[in-house]
């Protein structure tokens, strides 16, 4: 059930993708998602090449299923990152934050598939023209860095899926079978989840980080950086309050970069500082109330989706 062309392209059982999460999506989580029938993506954005290789070796020891690597193209060494990923078993490269045109053919010539993340129709069309295999259309509900257009998943997915001929994955605001079925109804052929997989045993985030999300209310996240360094969604805390205040006072982008730097992510993910660290989290975080294994998340999601489809059929 729920086998789509995404499954055939990527060689997976269920069209469920792990979003690439800095500090969080490491070998244990990648392997667990892939082993459960989805596609695990290593969150390689902040990793040096050596760490990417080390983590991928661990993934290969834990699963014989397909897996991939998420690579932000703003990294000056993104070409080296891609090659290291392909050389160490990744069958999928998920690109973001830049044009995939330069790398798509090179990846495909080595047998890899390309997923590119977009936040509007214009870039979805450009990605299709660049030859990517799959587009991940990410709505503004998503955690971490978001598109400037503020298009929500509900509005984005039907527009992107109508504008391109290649398969579309829905991302942003999805955490259970209801979101999965909704995404398919909107025209997507699969889903990508970050925040739901953040709250799993295998995720590398500090326990304090996970607890903060489990206790999150529905309005517990906010966007910072809209008019400066780029919109970023995270849990409301002392840091986001400082950033919002600085923005209101007209802080320059370089000043905000110091506040929202990579060290702040590590402070939350590794050290568990939930007040002065960046706790990237999607709006759906307020819905997630239980820590589970990645395998349980996928099994329950598919089961719930099946029940929903059957109930909807009774309405026809």
Distance set, CA 315 to CA 72, 304, 309, 312 (Å) = 44, 17, 10, 5
Pairwise CA distance, residues 257 & 172, whole Å: 24
pLDDT of residue 105: 96
Average pLDDT, integer, range 69-91: 96
Q: How confident is the model at residue 226 (pLDDT cuts 50, 70, 90)?
A: confident
Average pLDDT, integer, range 18-28: 94
Average pLDDT, integer, range 303-311: 97
pLDDT of residue 261: 62
Regarding whether 61 and 107 lie in a shared domain, the answer is yes
Which stretch of 58-72, 219-233, 275-289 has the lowest confidence by average pLDDT? 219-233
Regarding whether 302 and 248 lie in a shared domain, the answer is no
pLDDT of residue 267: 83
Regarding whether 15 and 117 lie in a shared domain, the answer is yes
- Residue with the bigger pLDDT between 1 and 10: it is 10
Regarding whether 103 and 79 lie in a shared domain, the answer is yes
Verdict on whether the full-model pTM lies above 0.85: yes
Pairwise CA distance, residues 186 & 49, whole Å: 38
Regarding whether 306 and 249 lie in a shared domain, the answer is no
Regarding whether 119 and 45 lie in a shared domain, the answer is yes
- Contact present, 224 and 140 (Cβ < 8 Å): no
| Average pLDDT of the residues of the chain | 95
Which CATH number is 129's domain given? 3.20.20.70
Per-residue pLDDT for 259 more than 80?
Answer: no
Regarding whether 225 and 127 lie in a shared domain, the answer is no
Regarding whether 221 and 179 lie in a shared domain, the answer is no
- Contact present, 243 and 256 (Cβ < 8 Å): yes
Per-residue pLDDT for 262 more than 70?
Answer: no
- Contact present, 70 and 100 (Cβ < 8 Å): no
**CB neighbours of 248 closer than 8 A, spacing ≥ 6?**
none
Angle, helix 177-185 to helix 294-313, in steps of 10 degrees: 60
Which stretch of 26-30, 191-195, 263-267, 284-288 has the lowest confidence by average pLDDT? 263-267
Regarding whether 35 and 132 lie in a shared domain, the answer is yes
| Domain of 274, in residue numbers | 217-280
Per-residue pLDDT for 228 more than 90?
Answer: no
Which tens digits make up the pLDDT trace of 115-173? 999 999 999 999 999 999 999 999 999 999 999 999 999 999 999 999 999 999 999 99
Average pLDDT, integer, range 14-23: 95
The total number of structural domains that make up the chain: 2
Pairwise CA distance, residues 171 & 18, whole Å: 10
Regarding whether 17 and 121 lie in a shared domain, the answer is yes
State the DSSP H helix or E strand holding residue 170, giving kind and residue range, or none if neither: strand 168-171
Per-residue pLDDT for 304 more than 90?
Answer: yes
């Amino acid at each position: 059930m729920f086998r789509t062309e995404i499954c055939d392209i990527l060689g997976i059982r269920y069209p469920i993708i792990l979003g690439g999460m800095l500090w969080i999506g490491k070998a244990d989580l990648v392997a667990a998602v892939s082993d459960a029938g989805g596609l695990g993506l290593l969150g390689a954005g902040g990793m040096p090449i050596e760490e990417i290789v080390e983590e991928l070796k661990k993934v290969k020891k834990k699963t014989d299923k397909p897996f991939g690597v998420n690579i932000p193209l703003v990294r000056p060494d993104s070409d080296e990152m891609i090659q290291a990923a392909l050389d160490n078993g990744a069958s999928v490269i998920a690109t973001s934050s830049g044009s995939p045109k330069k790398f798509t053919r090179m990846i495909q010539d080595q047998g890899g598939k390309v997923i590119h993340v977009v936040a509007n129709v214009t870039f979805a069309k450009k990605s299709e023209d660049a030859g990517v295999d799959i587009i991940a259309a990410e709505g503004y509900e998503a955690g971490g860095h978001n598109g400037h257009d503020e298009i929500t998943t509900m509005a984005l997915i039907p527009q992107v899926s109508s504008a391109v001929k290649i398969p579309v994955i829905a991302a942003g605001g999805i955490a259970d079978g209801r979101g999965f079925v909704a995404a398919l109804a909107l025209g997507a052929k699969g889903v990508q989840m970050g925040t739901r997989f953040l709250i799993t045993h295998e995720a590398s985030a500090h326990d304090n980080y996970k607890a903060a999300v489990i206790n999150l209310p529905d309005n517990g996240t906010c966007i910072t950086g809209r008019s400066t360094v780029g919109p970023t969604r995270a849990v409301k805390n002392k840091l986001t309050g400082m950033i919002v205040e600085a923005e209101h006072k007209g802080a320059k982008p370089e000043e905000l970069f110091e506040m929202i730097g990579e060290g702040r992510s590590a402070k939350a993910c590794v050290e568990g500082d939930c007040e002065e660290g960046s706790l990237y989290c999607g709006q759906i975080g307020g819905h997630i109330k239980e820590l589970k294994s990645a395998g349980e998340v996928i099994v329950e999601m598919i089961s719930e989706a099946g029940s929903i489809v059957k109930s909807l059929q009774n309405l026809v």
